[in-house]
Amino acid sequence: MSAKEDSAIQIKDVPSNERGELFPILEESFEGWYLRHSKHTLMDSEVVREAIVNEERAGLVILKDLGTKLGYVYYIAVGRKFRGKGIGGKLLDNSISYFFDKGMQEVYASIEEDNEDSERLFESRNFRKTSRAELAKKYGTINSFVLLRKMVAVPGEHIMVRQLSPSLDSK
Ligand SMILES: CC(C)(COP(=O)(O)OP(=O)(O)OC[C@H]1O[C@@H](n2cnc3c(N)ncnc32)[C@H](O)[C@@H]1OP(=O)(O)O)[C@@H](O)C(=O)NCCC(=O)NCCS
């Protein structure tokens, strides 16, 4: 993406009373249980950010604090016609900076196993796959279950993680 296109993407917080206007992006991005859950989460979450391109709502990200200095990218979605233009990447860069500024040490995401676009997006920002066993080793079995519950991670999803070091390099 050129610098000009990149600067045309603006990221901003979305107040609760405007969030319903983001439903069409979720409807183009998810189906079934995920769609219902993403809509519910959009309305309930503390932090929702949107990407605006040419005054249109192009994408969104829903962020969650898992506690103990761990951040979570709950949902990230870009409207179909806006995909492949760097908007998901910019929303994720913004999310990583948000968690870094809050003093988080790691950022997690949970993605469906066959969701290649999403996997590429997270890998492009240095997320790597972790496992339920690795989480249990790191945080203890019970704490890892609590974390997975807070993520609402279900079987058939990859858990991805990125460390946030003091010298933040988002790419
Ligand atoms: C996943 C999703 C958010 C990606 O958004 P996007 O705006 O299309 O992503 P971007 O254009 O910013 O691409 C992100 C990165 O993925 C990689 N990528 C994207 N398309 C690629 C392709 N066709 N080939 C190789 N790499 C690709 C690039 O490395 C890019 O990084 P860059 O910014 O350094 O170029 C979007 O496909 C989507 O909304 N999907 C449906 C919802 C969903 O599954 N969300 C994730 C689970 S919550």
CATH number of the domain where residue 97 is located: 3.40.630.30
Task: Please indicate, yes or no, if residue 170 is contained in any of the structural domains.
Answer: no
List the 47-53 sheet strands across, edge first. Answer: 9-13, 47-53, 56-67, 70-78, 106-112, 157-163, 128-130
pLDDT of residue 4: 53
Question: Mutation test of ligand 1: which of 83, 107, 127 has the most ligand atoms closer than 8 Å to its C-beta?
Answer: 83
pLDDT of residue 170: 46
pLDDT in tens for each of the 171 residues of the chain? 655 566 699 999 999 999 999 999 999 999 999 999 999 999 999 999 999 999 999 999 999 999 989 999 999 999 999 999 999 999 999 999 999 999 999 999 999 999 999 999 999 999 999 999 999 999 999 999 999 999 998 888 999 999 996 654 444
* Ligand 1, CB within 6 Å, residue ranges: 29, 75-78, 83-89, 111, 115, 117-118, 120-121, 124
Q: ∠ CA 21-48-98 to the nearest 5 degrees? A: 150
Please give the helix or strand (H or E) that residue 94 lies within, else none: helix 87-101
Task: Please indicate, yes or no, if residue 75 is contained in any of the structural domains.
Answer: yes
Task: Please indicate, yes or no, if residue 168 is contained in any of the structural domains.
Answer: no
Task: Please indicate, yes or no, if residue 159 is contained in any of the structural domains.
Answer: yes
Q: What is the CA radius of gyration of the chain?
A: 15
Question: Mutation test of ligand 1: which of 49, 124, 162 has the most ligand atoms closer than 8 Å to its C-beta?
Answer: 124
pLDDT of residue 3: 57
Domain extent at residue 111: 3-163
pLDDT of residue 156: 85
Nearest CA to ligand 1 atom 26: 120
Task: Please indicate, yes or no, if residue 171 is contained in any of the structural domains.
Answer: no
Task: Please indicate, yes or no, if residue 169 is contained in any of the structural domains.
Answer: no
Question: Mutation test of ligand 1: which of 38, 120, 157, 158 has the most ligand atoms closer than 8 Å to its C-beta?
Answer: 120
Task: Please indicate, yes or no, if residue 102 is contained in any of the structural domains.
Answer: yes
pLDDT of residue 125: 97
- Distance from the CA of 112 to the center of ligand 1, in angstroms? 14
**What are the start-end ranges of the E strands in the chain?**
9-13, 47-53, 56-67, 70-78, 106-112, 128-130, 157-163
pLDDT of residue 150: 94
- Distance from the CA of 57 to the center of ligand 1, in angstroms? 17
User: How many other C-beta atoms lie within 10 A of the C-beta of residue 158?
Assistant: 20
| Residue whose C-alpha is closest to residue 75's, from 99, 100, 108 | 108
pLDDT of residue 154: 84
User: How many other C-beta atoms lie within 10 A of the C-beta of residue 71?
Assistant: 25
